[in-house]
Each structure stands twice: as C-alpha cells, then as structure tokens.
Amino acid sequence: MKAPALTGMLEEIRWGLSRPQKQLPSKYFYDTRGSELFEAITELPEYYPTRTETSLLKTPVAGWVTEMAPASLVELGAGSARKTRILLAAMGHGKLQRTDQGTDHHTDQRTYAPVDVAGDFLRATAESLRVEDPSLDVRPQVRDITWDLDFVDELPAPVLFALLGSTIGNFAGEAAGELLSNVRSAMGENDLFLVGADLRPGAGKSIERLEAAYNDAQGVTADFNLNMLRALNRDAGTDFDLTAFRHRAFYDEGEGRIEMHLVAEADQEVQVPGAGVVKIGEGESIRTELSCKYDRSMLTGLFEAASLDVVKWCTDEDGLYAMALVSPM
C-alpha cells in the first residue's frame, strides 16, 4: 500500500484505539500481502460469497450489462478484478450505441477505471488487464472510495459503477449511506450502479455457515486479520506484537453483522506515534472489521436514502448473496 498521508493514518489509529471498544479501519488490511491473503480467502471452501457472486455475474448480471452497453466501468475496491473480466466481456458484446449527443459509438471501445487503496496491487491488476486486452483503456485510481470521485467526469459515458464482493458490508451504519451518496453524486442520468451484497441468515443459510466463512479451517482469515498489525507497524510506526493477539470472528444476530476482532492474549503496551503508549488488557480486543449482512428491504431502503432506485435484483437459489442494479432516481 502506498501509505495515505501518514498524519491521516495516525489520526485514524489514535482515534480508534481511544474508543471504549478499540477499533482499527478495515481498509488497513490491504497492503500487498493483505490483498494476496484476501485472494486466498476467496478460494477457501468456507468462503461462499466470491463463488456465489461469480455465478450471478455470469447469469443474469452479464445480460444486464450487455443490455446497458456501458462505455466505461468504474470499479470501487477492485482488488484483483478477477470477477470483473465477466463484466468487461459483457460490455464488449454491444453493437453500435447512440449517445446523448446523437452520435454513435462502438461499445467495444471500453474504459475500465479500477479504484483501490492498495496501490501496488492495483497497478499490477491494471497491468495484467492491459496485457490480456490491449484494446481496453485501463485507468487505475489509487484512492479511498469515500473520497470525491471527480475523475469520473473524464470517462466516456454511459458509466457502469460496480461495488462487488459485498464490500458495501464493510461500511457500517451511516458510512454505507455516505458511500452510496458519494457514488450517486458522481453518476450521470444514464449511468447505472451494480452492487453485490451478502445476505442475512435464512432458510437456505445457517448462522454456522456464515460464521465458518470467517473462521476457516486453514487459518487464512486469521492471518489476514493479524496482517493488519504487521502493515501498521511498517506504515504507521506502531510496535504491535503479532504473536500476542488471536483472531476472533462471530455473527451478531441483533446487528446483522460479522465482527472480526484481534484479542490480546496478555496485557500489551503498544507505542503509537503521537499518542504514546496504548494499553490493551489481557482478553481485551481490537475490532478490525464489520461485515454487515442485508436483506432486500434494508438494501432498498439504503439505496432510496441515497436517491437510487433498484431496477434489477437477483439472488442465488439458497439466498446466500444478492446483486442489485440501481439507477439515479
């Protein structure tokens, strides 16, 4: 990760570690090693969201995209963009398209703007896409997706925005609404926004299955969780002892979310530049991630609050995962 302004990073860390429930922002998972560990998570037998989303992207979502024939795809939190290849292929299937100005353009002239905080990983993703498809105009944006998406003005329209992998779930409470409003502000009237979301437990989805996705037998999720401390020691100058914390993840049924924590196995004293020593007692935890789970009405409400209308919706047979295509109201 190209570290964001160090002062901003340190402010977030100091603030989070001064809360009654200590917490750290989940975006700090994603240095290059963290991004690779996330990729390994997506291959785990327990982690169903990626496989389920891949299958929905093939059918029916690719058909929605072909129908829309976007000229550009803006992907928020793109990571390796592995599943994105399905969307890019679907974009290329259109024929001539009439623009708002009455001119025609070929929809196989496509622009792809992946946005991610993980700079080195994003640049590698962009490079491999260019090699795979030299006709694709790839414009990576290393930035926080909650920041102004002003670069979108430069892209050929219409634009399809995408937020895949249930990353929306990592923005809890008001942050999810703010993120959707941020995207809404960047959208033109003919643009669309595709969102993937992990669903709450139900008839075809047990709490055990959900919790297993965050407590895999091989311990990859535990490594991913602990890697945040390694990244902060390197990028923020903290001195967390990685051997002194253990991974914990559980589903909070009342809140409808997975919480990931790092639990101190003994009393800890951590140096945080600018904040001196932060004490963490034995058994105390730092919350590193919230992963909110939704149902259709909650998501519709979130979209409506951001002036977005659901125009297409699908889920898999078991009701594990949903995809929504939304348009400006």
Binding site for ligand AVI (CB under 6 A): 41, 165-167, 169-170, 214, 221, 289, 291
Pair of tokens at residue 103: 């001119």
DSSP annotation string for 19-46: SSSEE--GGGG-SHHHHHHHHHHHTSTT
Using CB atoms within 10 A of its CB, is residue 8 exposed (0-12), middle (13-18) or buried (19+)? exposed
Residues 256-315 binding ligand SAH (CB under 6 A) are none
CA distances from 268 to 164, 236, 251, 262, 282 (A): 37, 18, 26, 12, 7
Q: What angle do CA 202, 285, 5 make, to 5 degrees?
A: 100
Instruction: Quote the radius of gyration of the chain (alpha carbons, Å).
Output: 20
For ligand SAH, which residue has the nearest CB?
165
Binding-site partner at residue 146 among ligand SAH, ligand AVI, none, CB < 5 to 8 Å by type: ligand SAH
Q: Which amino acid is at 188?
A: G
CB of 83 to ligand SAH, least distance (A): 6
Residues 16-45 binding ligand SAH (CB under 6 A) are 27, 30, 35, 38, 42
Peptide bond connecting 49 to the previous residue in cis, omega within 30 degrees of 0: no
Indicate whether 200 belongs to the interface with ligand SAH (CB under 6 A): no
In this structure, are residues 69 and 107 in contact, taking their beta carbons and an 8 Å threshold? Answer: yes
Which is nearer to ligand SAH, 191 or 198 (by Cβ)?
198
Binding-site partner at residue 35 among ligand SAH, ligand AVI, none, CB < 5 to 8 Å by type: ligand SAH
Which is nearer to ligand AVI, 221 or 227 (by Cβ)?
221
Indicate whether 118 belongs to the interface with ligand SAH (CB under 6 A): yes
Indicate whether 152 belongs to the interface with ligand SAH (CB under 6 A): no
Binding-site partner at residue 214 among ligand SAH, ligand AVI, none, CB < 5 to 8 Å by type: ligand AVI
CB of 29 to ligand AVI, least distance (A): 7
Peptide bond connecting 70 to the previous residue in cis, omega within 30 degrees of 0: no
Could you list the residues that contact ligand SAH (CB under 6 A)?
27, 30, 35, 38, 42, 50, 77-79, 83, 116-118, 144-146, 164-165, 167
